[in-house]
Amino acid sequence: MRRYMVAGNWKMNMGPAAGRELAAAVQQKLAGRELGGDVLVCPPYATLPAVAEVAAGQPLLLGAQDCSDQVSGAYTGQISAGMLAEVGCRWVIVGHSERRQFQREGDEDFVAKITRAFDEGLKVIFCYGELLEERKLGRQADVVRDQLKGVLPRLTAADAGNLVLAYEPVWAIGTGETASPEQAQEMHAQSRQLVADIMGYPEAANMRILYGGSCKPSNAEELMGQTDVDGGLIGGASLKSDDFVGIVDGAEAALANT
Ligand code: PGA
């Protein structure tokens, strides 16, 4: 049985003061509850230490939104996986569509970043998903296959314990338009089959595959109730404690129904 994960990606929102407040509010709402999954927040770099003061450890885990593909040295503006581990991160997101789009990152970058993260003991949420034009052309299955095949076979240290996948159709990110539960399930099942082809059956059965893209309290339970949807990567709705905890409630309700 796979534990669900609900991960908040705050993107470039919430400075240290606002971030500490948000994390404390989430922590307070979850306090004392026996959760059947993992709940994680990924603030911007500058906010990590403030959030670590209130949120590192149970039940709320801390993650970052990206890391450098280098270990250390003359790389102005970059942050290493080792530094993230030092400030209390246990997780890091790699391959988000906004990094693909705005920083032009691709497979080579992702392999290097994930490798650095594993070397420092961090676990990784690897994001992938098709663009609107690609879905309109019916190419989503090919795109997802290429994105997973370009990275997963080169991660020699990856397993279902240190890697989580996040299928995020780009047309659903921040648009208010969500993939239907059927669309999500179809892509997740296909992703799991690809993981089986690349990493073998036990890893595929245990690998958590999150859905991301306009996930909110009102659709979380139905999405996460799909057989191959093991939680969510949450952008906009992770910025309000009620909404974020509402999504955790959705994950719990989906779990209770299985
Ligand atoms: P959204 O973002 O929930 O605001 O659509 C999801 C993401 O980018 O991870």
* Rounded mean pLDDT, 84-109: 97
* Rounded mean pLDDT, 80-99: 98
> If you measure from the C-alpha of residue 9 to the centroid of ligand 1, how many angstroms do you get, rounded to a whole number?
7
> If you measure from the C-alpha of residue 186 to the centroid of ligand 1, how many angstroms do you get, rounded to a whole number?
20
Q: What is the pLDDT of residues 156-189, one digit of tens each?
A: 999 999 999 999 999 999 898 899 999 999 999 9
Residue 98 in this model has a pLDDT that exceeds 80? yes
Residue 58, both tokens: 């149970």
| pLDDT for the residue numbered 149 | 98
| pLDDT for the residue numbered 177 | 87
* Probe residue for ligand 1, chosen from 98, 102, 173 as the CB with the greatest number of ligand atoms within 8 Å: 173
| Residue from 98, 105, 130, 168 carrying the catalytic annotation | 168
Q: What is the pLDDT of residues 112-139, one digit of tens each?
A: 999 999 999 999 999 999 999 999 999 9
Q: Is 96 a catalytic residue?
A: yes
Q: At a CB cut-off of 8 Å and minimum separation 6, what does 257 contact? A: 221, 225
- % of the chain surpassing 90 pLDDT: 94
| pLDDT for the residue numbered 18 | 98
Mean pLDDT of the chain: 96
Reported confidence tier of residue 57, pLDDT bands at 50, 70, 90: low
> If you measure from the C-alpha of residue 74 to the centroid of ligand 1, how many angstroms do you get, rounded to a whole number?
32
Residue 58 in this model has a pLDDT that exceeds 80? no
Q: Which carries the bigger pLDDT value, residue 6 or residue 58?
A: 6
* Rounded mean pLDDT, 216-240: 98
| pLDDT for the residue numbered 67 | 98
The CATH fold of domain 4-256:
TIM Barrel (3.20.20)
DSSP codes of every residue in 6-51: EEEE--S---HHHHHHHHHHHHHHHTT---SEEEEEE--GGGHHHH
Reported confidence tier of residue 101, pLDDT bands at 50, 70, 90: very high
Question: Which single residue is written with the structure tokens 């879905």?
Answer: 135
Output the pTM of the full model.
Answer: 0.97
Nearest-angstrom CA–CA distance, 243 and 101? 27
Residue 56 in this model has a pLDDT that exceeds 80? no
Q: Are 128 and 144 in contact (CB under 8 A)?
A: yes
Amino acid 201 reads Y
Between CA 40 and CA 89, with CA 81 as vertex, the angle to 5 degrees is 25
Ligand 1 atom nearest residue 11's Cα: 8
| pLDDT for the residue numbered 59 | 83
Q: Is 222 a catalytic residue?
A: no
Residues with CB under 6 A from ligand 1: 9, 168, 173-174, 212-215, 233-237
